């Protein structure tokens, strides 16, 4: 079960990184080049991924705490990007 969680975490974080980079929604535009609608799409995608990951990594073990730390950091980066 631990290997599946690690794989899910790595895959999900890769998706978050691509989404934050704007590659999925805005043809490789940077955050500052995106329209407000594109930024909102990125935020919504992150929120969807984040809620699923927070449910999957809700225990008190070190790996789950690390996943929560990464999600918190990404969320702060999105919030402070404007």
**13 HSE (CA, 13 A, CB side):** 16
CA 79 vs CA 2, 22, 55, 64, 74: distances in Å: 31, 15, 21, 22, 9
pLDDT given at position 3: 67
Angle value at C-alpha 66, between 20 and 2, nearest 5 degrees: 105
The three state secondary structure string of 43-57 is HHHHHHHHHHHHHHC
Q: Summarize pLDDT for 1-48 with one digit per residue, the tens.
A: 566 776 677 777 776 666 655 544 445 667 777 788 888 887 888 888
pTM of the model: 0.59
pLDDT given at position 26: 47
Q: Is the pLDDT of residue 82 over 70?
A: no
Q: Is the pLDDT of residue 75 over 70?
A: yes
């Amino acid at each position: 079960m631990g290997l599946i969680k690690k794989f899910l975490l790595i895959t999900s974080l890769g998706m978050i990184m691509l989404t934050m980079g704007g590659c999925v929604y805005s043809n490789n535009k940077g955050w500052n080049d995106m329209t407000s609608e594109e930024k909102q799409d990125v935020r919504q995608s992150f929120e969807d991924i984040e809620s699923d990951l927070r449910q999957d990594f809700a225990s008190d073990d070190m790996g789950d705490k690390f996943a929560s730390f990464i999600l918190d950091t990404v969320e702060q980066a999105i919030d402070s990007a404007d």
